[in-house]
Structure 1
Amino acid sequence: MILRIFAVVLLGAFSTFLDCNRVQAQVRGVYPVGMNATNSGVTPEAGLTYSNLFVFFSRDEEKDAGGNVVATGQNSILMDLNTFVWVSKKEIGPLGGAIFSASATLPFANNSLTSDINGSISGGGGFADSYYQPLILSWRKHRADFKVIYGFLAPTGRFSAGTNTNVGSGYWTSVAAGGQTIYLTEDRSTALSAFEMYEFHGTQEGTSVHPGQTLNLDYSLAHTFRLQEKLRLQLAVAGYGQWQTTDKNGPAITSQQAALRYKVNALGPAANVILPDRKVSVGLKYFREFSCESTYQGYTLQISGAITF
């Protein structure tokens, strides 16, 4: 079984290439897009699962609302996410045999922002915003796995309004999410997956800025090869999208800034190696972004590993 874990940390939602003294614009949501692109509906087996996910984001172009390049530089983010998931052994009969689980994610992050014009602008590192999923309900069927999720992001990372070494967001975020994996073949070797998550952002402490809400979509088409009796290789074409759905607002936000809404698209390859008898998996994803608007554009690399005890 592929072990897929969901986690969220801050991705520098308030930063800019051009001028660190102007009112900073919202350029991303808080979800690390793409991390649930494969096996989106799959839940780990009963017991405790530990997952480690290393994420590297690199973005070197700032796009305006029309998708035109307005600045260049380097925005890089390194994250290490430690996730613990507990899955119940019992099914909930009244809910159609649903399986209950819960999780906690403790992330560490390091980010830096430089401009071709102004040089180094900001950077920070340390413990970031932690993410909790107190309610996950999953269903396992012969030709499909799917789940629904309620979670929240706690502003545990360092944040101080007006400084340039922040690691956290400075606001709470609640999320509603769902994942589906549909098996296109009887042996479940070919699968179509999708993961949807909606972010409900709170008001940022110290600025009174309320970020716009965000819709995220991860997806993939994957095929699993049986290399040996106890070894599987899954290869996939994967992608993600992220869209701001409401205007941001705050005392220092102009009407023009409020109306800007970011849009993100990406595609790339993914691979997972699975040792089912040992309940271990490792994975790799690479995404190249394209046709982005009102945000930075670049690429994403994700390396994951998970084990169920």
Structure 2
Amino acid sequence: MRLTLNRLFLSLLTLSAPLPLLAANGHYVPGIEASGGAFMPPVQGLYYRAYLVHYDIRQVADARGDDMPGNNTGSVTAFANRLLYVTDRTFLGANYGVEAIVPVQRTSLRFRGLGVDSSESGVGDVYLGPVVLGWHGAQWDTVFAAGFWLDTAEHDPRDPATIGRGHPATMLTLGGAWHFDPERRWSVSALSRYEIKGEQDDTGITPGDSWLVEWALSHRLDSGLEVGLAGYDAWQLEADTGAGNNNKAERHAAGLELGYRWPDTGLQLKGAVYHEYSVKAGSGGVQPSGNLFRLALTTAF
């Protein structure tokens, strides 16, 4: 029973709110997941996870990774609601589930050196995932998922603080974890996301495909507290079609994660902080860089 609870509350494959400024040209925001990203609950039921994400923009980088001149600061704060339902069905030996996520966010930009002063709030692009598959072994877990980012949020190509991305996207997920001991106290995990973009109706630009990897090395103490090293690396693999240049965005960060779970109550809380040490802009010409803070509360019904 204890092993089942450990796997249940350590194991959620989760998605993020679409914060347009943070992704390497994609909907998915790096840093939302760390040690718990490459898992899916092995027990049938409904799971809810609430994310609180704050991105503190310290500077804006160009396509070479150099800081733009002037005082360019801002923030993006998001609250995302995600539901995952794990069915009693299996496919190819994996537990089968479906998911959906609805984010709300506020973006505030004060890029004085670039002449930008804008703030926007609203509901972001919605994600629907009809396929979530999770395989579980004694000392390993792996997950695959496929879903769609819908073009539901308001998008203004003239406003860098716009909430939506302005295009739909298909996202494929593949991740896994290895637990060094039978009690699963030491674990290493990686979670990758691949996004295939659609065309922006407002601009006629089709953003290039992007790929992201989140990784973590974590340890659970006797007290139940989890500590870990975590990071993310994101690349735009193709140049935007119709953008007029071949610049491709990149984003790299490392940080720390802490977590605690209460098996008797069905709650798990995890927090992380990341520092971005390398950022390059894509076809848009500039890309914010800074620090990301994240809290995620998970409960099972």
- Give TM-score scaled by structure 1 length: 0.87
Whole-Å separation in 1 of the counterparts to 2:296 and 2:189: 18
CA deviations over 1:77-133 (Å, ceiling 9, x no partner): 1110000110023434xx1x2100110001101101112235553221111101111
Q: Which residue of 2 aligns with 1:55?
A: 53
Q: Which residue of 1 aligns with 2:290?
A: 298
Question: How far does residue 64 in structure 1 lie from its aligned partner after superposition?
Answer: 2.4
Whole-Å separation in 2 of the counterparts to 1:110 and 1:39: 26
State whether residues 18 and 103 of structure 2, in contact with CA within 8 Å, keep that contact through their aligned partners in structure 1. no
Q: Which residue of 2 aligns with 1:91?
A: 90
After superposition, residues 1-309 of structure 1 pair within 5 angstroms as 1-13=9-21, 28-44=25-41, 45-71=43-69, 72-92=71-91, 95=92, 97-117=93-113, 120-163=116-159, 166-227=162-223, 232-250=224-242, 253-254=243-244, 258-294=245-281, 295-309=287-301
Counterpart secondary structure, 2:128: strand
Whole-Å separation in 2 of the counterparts to 1:191 and 1:67: 33
Whole-Å separation in 2 of the counterparts to 1:216 and 1:79: 20
State the AA in 1 paired with 2:276.
Answer: E
Whole-Å separation in 2 of the counterparts to 1:85 and 1:40: 13
Question: How far does residue 164 in structure 1 lie from its aligned partner after superposition?
Answer: 5.8
What is the percent sequence identity of the aligned residues?
23
Question: How far does residue 67 in structure 1 lie from its aligned partner after superposition?
Answer: 2.1
State whether residues 105 and 130 of structure 1, in contact with CA within 8 Å, keep that contact through their aligned partners in structure 2. yes
Question: How far does residue 212 in structure 1 lie from its aligned partner after superposition?
Answer: 1.6
Specify whether residues 164 and 259 from structure 1 end up closer, same or farther in structure 2 by C-alpha distance, changes over 3 A only: closer
Specify whether residues 118 and 197 from structure 1 end up closer, same or farther in structure 2 by C-alpha distance, changes over 3 A only: closer
Specify whether residues 160 and 298 from structure 1 end up closer, same or farther in structure 2 by C-alpha distance, changes over 3 A only: closer
State the AA in 2 paired with 1:89.
Answer: D
Question: How far does residue 233 in structure 1 lie from its aligned partner after superposition?
Answer: 1.2
Question: How far does residue 207 in structure 1 lie from its aligned partner after superposition?
Answer: 0.9
Q: 5+ unaligned residues in a row in structure 1: which ranges? A: 15-25
CA RMSD of aligned residues (A): 1.9
CA deviations over 1:286-306 (Å, ceiling 9, x no partner): 000002222221010001101
Q: 5+ unaligned residues in a row in structure 2: which ranges? A: 1-8, 282-286
Aligned length: 286
CA deviations over 1:28-83 (Å, ceiling 9, x no partner): 42211012221232212320011100111122222223322123411311110000
Counterpart secondary structure, 2:264: helix
State whether residues 40 and 146 of structure 1, in contact with CA within 8 Å, keep that contact through their aligned partners in structure 2. no
User: 272-281 or 163-172: which moved more?
Assistant: 163-172
